[in-house]
Structures are given as C-alpha cells and as structure tokens.
A = this chain, B = another copy of it.
Amino acid sequence: MFMQNLPSEVLINEVSTRDGFQSEAVFVPTDKKIEMIDRLSLLGLNKIEVTSFVSPKAIPNLRDAEEVMNRITRNPKVTYVALVPNEKGAERALATKADEVNLVMSVSESHNLSNMRMTCAQSLAQFRRICGLMEGSDVRINASLATSFGCPFEGIIAPERVIDVIDQYLEIGIQSISIADTTGMASPRQVYELCSLVRRIYPSVDVTLHLHNTRGMGLTNALAGLSAGINQLDASLGGIGGCPYAPGATGNICTEDLVHMLESIGLNTNVDLMKLLEISRELPAMLEHETSGQVAKAGLRTETRPLSQNVIDLKNRNEKH
C-alpha cells in the first residue's frame, strides 16, 4: 500500500546556506547570511548546515565561514553543522564550535577524484585523522556518502558499494551518515530499496537522506525514503543548490515544498511553513534569479481566493431562479 510505514515525525535539515549559496553567481553578504540563519533557527528545523570550511579560493562564496559561524545566534534546539573537506577545515570547525561536522566522500571513485581530488582510500584515511582530531570534543561527526545512487561518470551505483562504504565508516567509528543523491539520479524504487537495506543492516546508525530534484523525482524519492524507515531529510530553501553540469536543472529538494507535501499527508515536521515561505520569497531578490520552489509561487494548497464579482452575480442570479 502506498504511504504505509511512514514515520509520524520527520526531521528537516536545512542546507541552503551551504549547499545552496556555494554555487550561486552572487556572493550573499555576510550580514544577510547571518540574518537568514538566525531567522531559520526559530522555525523548528532539526539541523542547519551553516557553511563549509573549504579554501576560500575553491569556494569564494563561503569565504566568510568563520564570521558566519561566530556571529549567528544559536538556538540550543538546533544542530549547527559545518561541512569539512579536510583536517584544516576540521580545525576551523572546532575553533568556531560547530555542533557537528559533515565529512564527504563519494562512493564512486571517479566522482571522489573529480570532486575531492582524492581516492576513496585517501578520503577514508583523512576521515580517520579528523575523527582523531575531534576526540574529546563535543563535536558530532556525520559522514556523507555522495553519489550513493548514481555517479555522472560511472552511472547507477550498486547498493553493495554503498554498504561497503558504510562498513568502512563504522570501522572508523562514524555512527551518523547521510545517503546522498548528489546529482539527482535516484529512482523512487532505488531509494526505497537502498534505504530499506540500510535500515535493516544498521538499525542503530543515524541516517539522513540528501536528495536533489535534478530529474523531477526529488519529492517522490523523499516519500520513498520515509516509507523505508528514514526520518531525517536534507532540503534547501527555494530548492537552491544547482547542478553545475545541467544549466537550468533544479538542485536540492526544496524545503518548503517538502514540508508542504509532508504536512499534506499528515506527517509532522514541527517546521513553521508560513515563516519558511516568507524567507524563501526573499531569495529571488537576494540571489538575482528565480528559484525552483513551487509553493512559494503558488501558495498553500489550502489557500483560497475570493470569487470575482461577476461570478458572484451569476451565482446569485441562479439561486434566485
């Protein structure tokens, strides 16, 4: 049956200020970033992926990572995450007291080489050193498995490869993972099957699903993952965070469209959708382009508008006769 076994509550992790802003044509001013994160902090989100401690040369849009991390007003109910590509980044995350670092490796060797300039073995060795660095601190470690469903160079990824990488993560001591459809290649069946498998093999591992809407299947895939026992989803306000290979293609699944859909089927996200929409509607001016989010344009499904006067007249006339 469709939509059975859904969790009653879904945790939403917001990634727009990292995964979204990093690839934008414009630099979002530091004050604007901080203001946006502070507003997002009050809306019931589970985590906010604030920024990335990468080289400012590699990603100039996030060159203000320290300042943003230091100046945001933290809500103790929210986990503030920083993406960390290497040991240097991990030290910066420690110094700015991120609640959680997110490490990234692609399960596809080619994509990891292309994206991280490292083999998977090199990435794993670095993860081990970062875990060493973090020892004794309160910082949580999450590790992402990029290209878990498909790789733009190697094609569809077999679930065995993902399981193999999870085993390697566990061996290092990582107990919190994100299964990522980095370039939006996953099908709903694939998501359902891989997530079911992961939940079955690793019932105590904390699993997030990170989806992109590159081929229009993002929200369907989210529902497929939830049906398979996942209860934590990454999403990005306005659906920002494009795919560099496909001009015009959409990026991450859109937070407000996701929350809107989940609420429409009776799932609780704890997220304040109206305030989320308010912030999302400011994005086009901030980023100087339209975003792919649909609910921000169309309004809630439950919103109604008044009938025009001539239809009211028509109605009254019919009722009289």
Which residues on B sit within 8 Å (CB–CB) of A223? Answer: 2, 188, 220
In chain A, residues 1-55, which have Cβ atoms closer than 8 Å to a Cβ of chain B? 1-5
Q: Is the CB of B248 within 8 A of A290?
A: yes
Once A1-B1, A216-B219, A266-B189 are accepted as A-B contacts, the answer to whether A184 and B315 lie under 8 Å apart by CB is no
In chain A, residues 128-162, which have Cβ atoms closer than 8 Å to a Cβ of chain B? 150-156
Which residues on B sit within 8 Å (CB–CB) of A247? Answer: 297
Which residues on B sit within 8 Å (CB–CB) of A185? Answer: 301-302
Q: Is the CB of A295 within 8 A of B264?
A: no
CB distance from A73 to the nearest CB of B (A): 31
Which residues on B sit within 8 Å (CB–CB) of A62? Answer: none
Task: Tell me whether A172 is interfacial, beta carbon within 8 Å.
Answer: no
Tell me the nearest residue of chain B to A212, going by C-beta: B298
In chain A, residues 52-80, which have Cβ atoms closer than 8 Å to a Cβ of chain B? none
Q: How many angstroms between the C-alpha atoms of A169 and B201 in the bound complex?
A: 52
Q: Is the CB of A265 within 8 A of B1?
A: no
Q: How many angstroms between the C-alpha atoms of A258 and B92 in the bound complex?
A: 44
CB distance from A83 to the nearest CB of B (A): 21
Once A184-B298, A301-B156 are accepted as A-B contacts, the answer to whether A117 and B216 lie under 8 Å apart by CB is no
Q: Which of B119, B224, B228, B307 meets A110, CB within 8 Å?
A: B307
Task: Tell me whether A308 is interfacial, beta carbon within 8 Å.
Answer: yes
Q: Is the CB of B2 within 8 A of A294?
A: no
In chain A, residues 255-313, which have Cβ atoms closer than 8 Å to a Cβ of chain B? 257, 260-261, 264-266, 290, 293-295, 297-302, 304-308, 311
Tell me the nearest residue of chain B to A153, going by C-beta: B307
Which residues on B sit within 8 Å (CB–CB) of A156? Answer: 301-302
Tell me the nearest residue of chain B to A213, going by C-beta: B294
Tell me the nearest residue of chain B to A263, going by C-beta: B187
Q: Is the CB of A245 within 8 A of B2?
A: no
Q: Is the CB of B298 within 8 A of A246?
A: yes
Once A3-B2, A247-B297 are accepted as A-B contacts, the answer to whether A304 and B155 lie under 8 Å apart by CB is yes
The 6 A-B pairs at the shortest CB distance, nearest first, are namely: A187-B264, A2-B227, A216-B294, A216-B257, A246-B298, A249-B298
A-B contact pairs, 13 of them (CB 8 A): A2-B3, A109-B315, A110-B307, A113-B314, A113-B315, A114-B308, A114-B311, A150-B301, A156-B302, A187-B265, A217-B264, A220-B261, A247-B297
